């Protein structure tokens, strides 16, 4: 597909022809409210939220919760700490905390009166049960720990009294409090945590303390949440107290992006998840809101398997880095809502630096790198060395629909320097198998709240995720990862974070593309008051419908 064809992907305004399966009963339509109280929040009303699907189950302790699950989890559960889009932490269920002994010990002070939806107290004992689940999991029941929780140096959590929790680590854990705001650290009833794996996968048994509760559900079709009338402990950062304003939220599974968009455009639903970026300006011109929040985490880009052909060759890794024209991608696939990547972590992470020179586009440099490494152009233009064609498979990230168009363009760009890219498109259900196969490049979308957690994914130390398939074979990477995880003060950690970013990029271990906007929200003009947290999830606790 050429650039002109990409540019033709624009939204056709006024679409009303939609399939019968997508016709939904919903409040309101696309016309903006003219009510005199349109700016004053009101209670009541129901919204329908169209989403791709929930294909990965409902076990909250998986290594990573998908964007789809995270939207629903965020309405029925709370967290100890709230984080905004700048990484600023503020109280939630934990009304205050203390960091002691060089960040080895912490004390959490809990709000009074917080309860789970079954009426049991969300007290210190319940928090201890959650902390132990996040840190340790339950291997005998097949339940994993939370992937980015600082588990390797976790010692204990204990209830000092009903409102006070003491947490200890064997070495500094500067990222502990921040990690409590991560969307993997959702507070669930001890009753839920004690269930076997298959029972935890039953959404009806997931008992949280959030502003909404599950009313009914049909797996793969629809999920109805209703507000909890006694809820009164939302984070102060949201400037709202008491119950949610909406009566219900119905999550309706519609897999096709164009159908989701057209259904909201025609007034038959209020929210659609993940529209095509090229449709944004047209939709805004029609009066719709399109939320494009940026999350704290890794940029859109590729983890590189340093042991697989052909990315086991540093020259190939660096040629790919410099052979990708990111400005062409932004101009063709995306909009002004997308920012250029300057490193492999998002720009709103406080420790992010500008190391873009390590992977800047250069039309000539990749050819020289490949020539010098012995990769010579073959008769069809693709480079060859030792009888092997310079080629590899590439699978777009199905959690970010725009990456298909992005990767199609990248394949064209790399073809210009003699690299053959074989695109393989899979759905969400098939993506985990792609990851398990350890392809040369794996397209990442991963959030975190604190930069210290980066160490847990880059190597295999302390059961880390070993993103680059180096194990512990790169001593400098080991040392930098250990240093960032064990730093005892934030100033020294920021310096180490800079060294780590520069080293990873210089070695070609990660190939950044752009700053990731993974979660896009198309919202009807009738819906007001939606807010986004630092993980780019929409919060409907504060939302309301204009009458």
Identify whether residues 253 and 329 lie together within a single domain: no
Q: Write the CATH number for 238.
A: 3.40.190.10
Residue-level pLDDT at 167: 98
Residue-level pLDDT at 200: 85
Please answer whether residues 109 and 97 qualify as being in contact, where contact means their C-beta atoms are separated by less than 8 angstroms. yes
Average pLDDT, whole number, for the chain? 90
Q: From its phi and psi, is residue 471 left (phi > 0), alpha (psi between -120 and 50) or beta? A: left
Question: What six digits make up the tokens of 133?
Answer: 């689940």
Residue 23 within any structural domain of the chain: no
Identify whether residues 388 and 467 lie together within a single domain: yes
Alpha-carbon distance 203 to 218, whole Å?
Answer: 10
Identify whether residues 58 and 153 lie together within a single domain: yes
Question: What six digits make up the tokens of 424?
Answer: 């393989």
Residues 447-483: pLDDT tens digits? 899 998 888 889 998 888 999 999 999 999 999 999 9
Residue 146 within any structural domain of the chain: yes
Residues 490-540: pLDDT tens digits? 999 999 999 999 999 999 999 999 999 989 999 999 999 999 999 999 999
Residues 81-109: pLDDT tens digits? 999 988 999 999 999 999 999 999 999 99
Identify whether residues 303 and 274 lie together within a single domain: no
pLDDT band per the 50, 70, 90 thresholds, residue 242: very high
Residue-level pLDDT at 65: 65
Question: What six digits make up the tokens of 445?
Answer: 């979308």
pLDDT band per the 50, 70, 90 thresholds, residue 407: very high
Q: Within a 13 Å sphere around the CA of 234, how many CA atoms are in the beta-carbon half?
A: 25
Residue 21 within any structural domain of the chain: no
Please answer whether residues 244 and 540 qualify as being in contact, where contact means their C-beta atoms are separated by less than 8 angstroms. yes
Residue 471 within any structural domain of the chain: yes
Residues 277-294: pLDDT tens digits? 989 999 999 999 999 999
pLDDT band per the 50, 70, 90 thresholds, residue 64: low
Residues 159-206: pLDDT tens digits? 999 999 999 999 999 999 999 999 889 999 999 999 988 888 889 999
Identify whether residues 468 and 503 lie together within a single domain: yes
Identify whether residues 536 and 503 lie together within a single domain: no
Average pLDDT over residues 216-238: 96
The crossing angle, in degrees rounded to 10, of helices 403-415 and 314-323 is: 110
Identify whether residues 56 and 170 lie together within a single domain: yes
Identify whether residues 310 and 199 lie together within a single domain: no
Residue 89 within any structural domain of the chain: yes
Identify whether residues 210 and 243 lie together within a single domain: yes
Q: Write the CATH number for 396.
A: 3.10.105.10
Residue-level pLDDT at 62: 58
Identify whether residues 440 and 532 lie together within a single domain: no
Identify whether residues 224 and 307 lie together within a single domain: no
pLDDT(312) > 60: yes
Residues 112-133: pLDDT tens digits? 999 999 999 999 999 999 999 9
Residue 30 within any structural domain of the chain: no
Q: CB within 8 A of 453, min separation 6: which ones?
A: 148, 150, 175, 179
Residue 79 within any structural domain of the chain: yes
Residue 538 within any structural domain of the chain: yes
Average pLDDT over residues 29-48: 65
User: DSSP states of 334-382 as a string?
Assistant: --TT--B-SSSB-TTSTT----GGGS---SSHHHHHHHHTT-EE-TTS-
Backbone angles phi, psi at 390, to 5 degrees: -80, 90
Provide the number of structural domains found in the chain. Answer: 2
The crossing angle, in degrees rounded to 10, of helices 314-323 and 365-372 is: 170
* Percent of the chain with pLDDT strictly greater than 70: 92
Identify whether residues 260 and 370 lie together within a single domain: no
pLDDT band per the 50, 70, 90 thresholds, residue 246: very high
pLDDT(4) > 60: no
Range of the domain at 351: 297-515
Q: From its phi and psi, is residue 123 left (phi > 0), alpha (psi between -120 and 50) or beta? A: beta
Burial class (CB in 10 A: 0-12, 13-18, 19+), 344: buried
* Percent of the chain with pLDDT strictly greater than 90: 76
Average pLDDT over residues 357-385: 97
């Amino acid at each position: 597909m050429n650039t002109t064809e990409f540019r033709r992907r624009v939204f056709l305004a006024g679409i009303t022809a939609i399939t019968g399966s997508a016709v939904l009963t919903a409040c309101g339509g696309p016309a903006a409210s003219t009510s005199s109280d349109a700016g004053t929040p009101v209670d009541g009303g129901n919204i329908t939220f169209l989403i791709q699907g929930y294909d990965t189950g409902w076990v909250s302790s998986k290594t990573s919760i998908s964007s789809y699950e995270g939207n629903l989890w965020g309405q029925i559960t709370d967290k100890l700490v709230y984080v905004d889009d700048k990484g600023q932490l503020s109280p939630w269920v934990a009304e205050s905390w203390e960091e002691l002994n060089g960040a080895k010990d912490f004390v959490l002070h809990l709000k009074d009166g917080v309860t789970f939806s079954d009426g049991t107290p969300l007290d210190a004992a319940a928090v201890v049960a959650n902390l132990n689940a996040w840190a340790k999991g339950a291997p005998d029941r097949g339940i994993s720990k939370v992937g980015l929780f600082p588990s390797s140096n976790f010692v204990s959590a204990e209830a000092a009294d009903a409102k006070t929790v003491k947490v200890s680590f064997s070495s500094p854990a500067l990222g502990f409090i921040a990690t409590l705001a991560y969307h993997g650290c959702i507070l669930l009833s001890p009753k839920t945590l004690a269930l076997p794996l298959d029972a935890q996968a039953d959404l009806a048994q997931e008992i949280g303390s959030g502003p909404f509760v599950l009313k009914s559900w049909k797996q793969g079709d629809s999920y109805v949440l209703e507000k909890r009338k006694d809820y009164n402990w939302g984070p102060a950062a949201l400037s709202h107290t008491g119950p949610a304003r909406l009566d219900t939220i119905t999550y309706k599974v519609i897999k096709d992006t164009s159908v989701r968009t057209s259904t909201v455009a025609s007034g038959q639903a209020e929210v659609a998840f993940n529209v095509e970026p090229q449709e944004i300006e047209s939709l805004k011109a029609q009066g719709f809101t399109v939320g494009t929040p940026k999350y704290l985490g890794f940029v859109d880009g590729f983890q590189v398997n340093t042991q697989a052909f052909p990315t086991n060759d540093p020259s190939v890794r660096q040629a790919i880095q410099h052979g990708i024209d990111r400005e062409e991608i932004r101009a063709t696939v995306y909009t002004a809502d997308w920012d250029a990547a300057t490193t492999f972590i998002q720009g709103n992470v406080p420790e992010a630096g500008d190391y873009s020179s390590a992977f800047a586009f250069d039309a000539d440099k990749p050819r020289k790198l490949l020539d010098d490494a012995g990769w010579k152009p073959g008769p069809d233009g693709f480079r060859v060395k030792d009888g092997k064609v310079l080629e590899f498979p590439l699978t777009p990230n199905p959690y970010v629909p725009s990456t298909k168009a992005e990767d199609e363009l990248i394949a064209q760009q790399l073809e210009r320097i003699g690299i053959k890219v074989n695109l393989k498109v899979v759905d969400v259900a098939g993506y985990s198998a792609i990851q398990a196969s350890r392809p040369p490049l794996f397209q990442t979308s991963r959030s975190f709240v604190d930069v210290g957690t980066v160490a847990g994914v880059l190597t295999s130390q302390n059961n880390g995720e070993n993103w680059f398939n180096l194990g512990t074979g790169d001593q400098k990477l080991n040392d930098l990862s250990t240093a960032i995880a064990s730093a005892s003060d934030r100033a020294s950690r920021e310096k180490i974070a800079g060294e780590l970013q520069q080293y990873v990029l210089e070695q070609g271990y990660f190939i950044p593309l752009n700053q990731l906007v993974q979660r896009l929200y198309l919202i009807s003009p009738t819906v007001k008051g939606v807010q986004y947290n630092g993980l780019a999830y929409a919060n409907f606790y504060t939302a309301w419908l204009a009458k």
